[in-house]
Structure 1
Amino acid sequence: MEAEVVQTVANPDAIPQVGDEKALIVAVSVGAVFAAEEGEVYGAGVAFPLLQAVQTVNERLLQVDPSESERFQVILICTNRGHQRQKERLQSSAKAHGLHKHRFSFPCEDDFTDTLRENKVHLFLTTDSTEATRAANQGVLSALLDPLSASGPSEQLRVLFCADAILDPGQKTGTREAVQALASRLGRMRRRFGLADSPLSLVLLTSHGGLSRCRSALKTLRSDGVGVDEAYCLGGTPRGLILPLLRPHFLLGAAEE
């Protein structure tokens, strides 16, 4: 049986390349980006608004400073064998939807986590909880996308930090450190923009613990150079009531119930 080889495909329509040492590298599963539809072009999946927003952040960063090197670099990672046989269709679909990706990656299903580590991915986004768990177990910070992600705005990237990922000793140390490292990088990006009309919005959500817990989380984030745009202390109110109003593209850390 022939060994399966990871194939990485550059996108000639991509925006200018970002050096890996400066880039904030996000891998997104192809299954989250495209919906399985008949025809030459795949339909838009739940990650579509997120990728549009990421692209907007990159474009605005270059408007602020054409030499800016700390930008998002997105990898569309395909672990589904059916999708892997549709490489050209995937690339043409990305172009048709105006998603200027850096590159596609087609690892085999069994070792996609190796590809994440080899590409020094800072965050892996997927709709598959099994994939997210496998990646997290291999030390790659992961977040699940769900139908709510599809309601996020395309002109502003909205990232929600949950207090447990910032404060709780019960979180795995590596996970907490990875969240804080990512938050620090996002904070630096956010500071490139003014208070109003920013293409990047950082939100803090505290489900339990009252105002003191919210203050502690804010203090921790600020010590990492992260200033949030919005903070919500729910005091035990189910988060499901407010998330549709906040419209985050993804949550970092499982919010407390």
Structure 2
Amino acid sequence: MENIPCKPGTAFAFIKALQNVNDKLLEKNADEEEIFDVVLVTQNHGDTSIRIINSINHYGLRIERASLTGGSDPIEYLKAWNTCLFLSADVDQVKKALDHGMAAAVVQKQVTNETTEQLRIAFDGDSVLFSDESERIVKEQGLLDFFAHETAKANEPIGEGPLKNFAERLGRMQKKFPRYSSSVTDNPIRTYLVTARSMASAGKRALLTLRSWGLEMDETFFLSGAIKAPFLKTINPHLFFDDQPKHIKAASETGTPSAHVPHGIAQDYCGKQKIKRTLSSQF
């Protein structure tokens, strides 16, 4: 079995695209230091990881750093690696990483999408790039109070969400290449904001928040509650990050590689709904 390569997973094309960005950065500047550094973190023991190493080499993945923890909790090692983004299929480990202030998400298991050179990342807004401040009002007080809140706070930035720092790093790398040109593929990184916010009623604050961070999305979609999956299918991102399981499920079912960010009020709300359904089934 050690010589049989593992099948590509959901994040395979994502990692290949990261490598392409690194190649483009180093072509521009051989001394460039701000490049992606992929670290493999696994709770496997070293002597059971030969197949992983063989698979990495088989697919031409340049992953030179790793922590093989032999069953111990990898969270402290993530801090030692100065982790910018932690991806895992283990929801408990992701929640621990988020609690430690790291950007993290649960990658959904599905067939990997086709490898493309341009790195395309799609972000939800509230509870992902932004804090859950506004989403909390929607859940607890309703849409009318949400719109009133956004109008009153229109010129005040929204708080930072768990993936804000990762998006900022993407933005810094992106600015090393032509930002605007006749072809959208001239830049090896393309970013998308796909939010349920309405444009006229709640879009201004989101855009001003991004501006205050010095962050600009290449494409922004204010869907005002419309289903996200059809738009994501057209975008065809390497990863789509969202805090709500229903959006992740719909995106994954239509072939969009997705990563759930278990953060914010939506997690409490989903938990309450699950409890309610369980109680209902008992009577």
Deviation at 1:254, TM superposition (A): 1.6
Cα distance, 1:57–1:42 mapped onto 2, change above 3 Å: same
Q: Counterparts in 2 of 1:1-257, with a 5 A limit?
A: 39-80=3-44, 84-147=46-109, 150-151=112-113, 153-164=115-126, 165-167=128-130, 168-169=132-133, 176=160, 178-194=162-178, 195=180, 196=184, 197-254=186-243
Amino acid at match of 1:156: Q
Name the one with the larger strand percent.
1
Cα distance, 1:211–1:95 mapped onto 2, change above 3 Å: farther
Q: Provide the alpha-carbon RMSD of the alignment.
A: 2.7
**Does the residue aligned with 2:163 lie in a helix, a strand or coil?**
helix
Q: How far apart, in 1, do the equivalents of 2:234 and 2:111 lie?
A: 12
Deviation at 1:147, TM superposition (A): 4.8
Which structure 2 residue ranges, 5 or more long, are not aligned?
137-158, 248-283
| Greater Rg over alpha carbons, structure | 2
Judge conservation of contact 1:202–1:230 (CA < 8 Å) in 2: yes
Cα displacement string for residues 141-178 of structure 1 (whole angstroms, at most 9, x for unaligned residues): 20122256822643111112211033432689xx9354
Q: Which moved more, 1:247-256 or 1:154-163?
A: 247-256
Deviation at 1:38, TM superposition (A): 7.8
Aligned residues: 217
Cα distance, 1:158–1:95 mapped onto 2, change above 3 Å: same
Deviation at 1:85, TM superposition (A): 3.6
Judge conservation of contact 1:221–1:227 (CA < 8 Å) in 2: yes
TM-score (normalizing by structure 1): 0.74
TM-score (normalizing by structure 2): 0.68
Q: How far apart, in 2, do the equivalents of 1:150 and 1:124 lie?
A: 18
Q: How far apart, in 1, do the equivalents of 2:94 and 2:135 lie?
A: 16
Q: How far apart, in 1, do the equivalents of 2:31 and 2:205 lie?
A: 36
